Structure 1
Amino acid sequence: MKNTPSDLRILSVDIGGSSVKATILDSKGNLTMDYQKVATPKPANPDNIVKAIKTLVKDYPEYDRISVGFPGYVRNGIVKTAPNLGTDFWADVNFANQLKKALSKETKVVNDADMQGLGVVNGKGLEMVITLGTGFGTALLMDGHLLPHLEVSHHPVSKGRDYDQYIGDKALDEIGEKKWNRRIKKVFKILKTVFNYDYLYIGGGNSDLLDFKLDDNMKIVTNADGIKGGAKLWQEDQHPVTHTAMATPTK
């Protein structure tokens, strides 16, 4: 007998520049186990990432579906860019298909900030999610529905530098936390002006380094919150955008 949506157990995977994290969720997005992680392999090519995921989940309980948040532009489960893993490795790789072959489960792959967005928003108005980590991730949702992904991180922001170059990990290491925070303040002003969001959620490891008071409609969220978005990808009432990345196992 097939599982109904309320019975589904979803393996939710978050691929980052420094680590690959995974947990198993119920259909409502509740964690059924603590999420665990392994270091992102080097080189971070598709084969090595698949091996890392298989190693990470080999002793996990049973699951029915797989949701993956990937750090790059993804369309219909096919990776187009992966600036922090190596676009040369990933361009036009059908990662949803690769992973479903490796683990024999239906798989959906979306941008990591998009998946985090599904996990943290309250579903009211225009909500924006950003991640401050190896690079700069963004997602936009309207009334809880995921909007088409925009690679805001690659838009020039200062002296020909894009957001990844301006406020990513490398910039933080080069300029230090004090100057990095000044840059973040500038970025927040730009986002507020350009997107006119109702609420802004801030995730990623470097969000812990913010040293200034946030506006009332801004909130820091955790990776654990974001990984819950893996369940939302399988909810029937979600916007069709979230249903474009499924790969079903071959029989």
Structure 2
Amino acid sequence: MTAVVEAAAGPDVRIGIDVGGTWIKGALVDLASGTPAGAVRRLQTPPGGRADAVADTMDRLIAGLDAGGPGAADRAVGVAIPSIVQRGVARSAANMDSSWIGLDVQSYLRSRLGRPVGVVNDADAAGMAEAHYGAGAAKQGVVLVLTLGTGIGSALIVDGRLVPNFELGHLEIGGAKAESRTSAVVRENEGLGWVEYAGRLQRYLSHVEFLFSPDLIIIGGGISACANEYLPRLSLRTRVVPASLENSAGVVGAALQATAGWK
């Protein structure tokens, strides 16, 4: 479990915001250690997920996180959103209102929040957090981070550099999208036992391994807590390990975006 650092917000602390369909989570993040400098807080995502309502909720969340202290009003914010993001512009909207699509989210939020803002895809944020601070820390080569949840999120990192918007949940295997057969929610909805689920995961990961030849695969999402149930049943050339940052990965990765300037 990620440790919580109870410390004053210093120069290496940024704000990370992770926007989801149900909750918007945020924290001050110490970039030296990759840990929240205090509690990860959350507010409910506004019904419908319109961009203006989400921005208002972010503003309230940030006010609660960053109330006072030197430089607080100008502290940079990184925002992870469930969208394909190209140069700050959202090109899709998963579980969010269509008003996001085509919006220059980075410029919009800079204006609405009155702070420097960087925007990143949510799976990319979680992947970069794991690559910098978690199970992939100091690993060279090709690192693939997969989050198994409602769908399948994916991030590809090569020698520490992100390949953005890597949507491997939409790979078609056996005539169906991979995430429609292999996500954690599908396992629950279909009542799959671990043996049957591991078989589906084996087929998916074998295909991904053949296509991209990663040096390390990191499995995240809530299901990573049950890694002992399925990882020993997999047979791959590539080492497969559970993610280590748990639910803070998106917030930590978003905070990295605040200073890294990924587009």
**Coarse TM-score class (shorter-chain normalised):** 0.7 to 0.9
Distance 1:18 1:158 in 2: 31
What SS does the corresponding residue of 1:44 show, helix, strand or coil? coil
**Offset of 1:150 from its aligned partner?**
2.1
Instruction: Classify 1:171/1:38 alpha carbon distance in 2 versus 1 (closer, same or farther; 3 Å).
Output: same
Matched, 1:126 2:130: no
What SS does the corresponding residue of 1:189 show, helix, strand or coil? helix
Large movers: runs of 4+ above 6 Å: none
What SS does the corresponding residue of 1:84 show, helix, strand or coil? coil
| Paired residue total | 232
Residue pair 1:67, 1:108 contacting (<8 A) in 2 also: yes
Residue pair 1:126, 1:141 contacting (<8 A) in 2 also: yes
Structure 2's unaligned 5+ residue stretches are 1-9, 67-71, 132-136
Instruction: Classify 1:185/1:39 alpha carbon distance in 2 versus 1 (closer, same or farther; 3 Å).
Output: farther
Match 1:224 to one of 248, 257, 262? 248
Matched, 1:196 2:207: no
Partner of 1:58: 63
**Offset of 1:8 from its aligned partner?**
4.3
**Offset of 1:77 from its aligned partner?**
1.0
Residue pair 1:84, 1:135 contacting (<8 A) in 2 also: no
**1:30-179 to 2 correspondence within 5 Å?**
30-61=35-66, 62=72, 64-86=75-97, 88-121=98-131, 122-123=137-138, 124-159=140-175, 161-168=176-183, 171-178=186-193, 179=196
Partner of 2:225: 208
**Offset of 1:208 from its aligned partner?**
3.3
What SS does the corresponding residue of 2:36 show, helix, strand or coil? coil
**Offset of 1:17 from its aligned partner?**
2.9
**Offset of 1:134 from its aligned partner?**
2.2
Instruction: Classify 1:139/1:209 alpha carbon distance in 2 versus 1 (closer, same or farther; 3 Å).
Output: same
Distance 2:15 2:242 in 1: 26
Residues 81-114 of structure 1: CA distance to partner in whole angstroms, max 9, x if unpaired? 123324x332101222222222111111111111
Partner of 1:15: 19
Code of the residue aligned with 1:150 in structure 2: it is F
Distance 1:156 1:172 in 2: 18
Distance 2:22 2:222 in 1: 10
Residue pair 2:79, 2:254 contacting (<8 A) in 1 also: yes
User: What TM-score, normalized by structure 1, do the two folds share?
Assistant: 0.81
Distance 2:164 2:29 in 1: 25
User: What TM-score, normalized by structure 2, do the two folds share?
Assistant: 0.77
Partner of 1:233: 257
Structure 1's unaligned 5+ residue stretches are 1-5, 245-251
Partner of 2:200: 183
Distance 2:59 2:100 in 1: 19
**Offset of 1:49 from its aligned partner?**
1.8
Percent identity, please: 24
Distance 2:202 2:93 in 1: 26
What SS does the corresponding residue of 1:47 show, helix, strand or coil? helix
**Offset of 1:180 from its aligned partner?**
4.3
Code of the residue aligned with 1:68 in structure 2: it is V
Residue pair 2:119, 2:257 contacting (<8 A) in 1 also: no
**Offset of 1:139 from its aligned partner?**
0.6
Instruction: Classify 1:168/1:94 alpha carbon distance in 2 versus 1 (closer, same or farther; 3 Å).
Output: farther
Distance 1:177 1:17 in 2: 25
Distance 1:202 1:185 in 2: 13
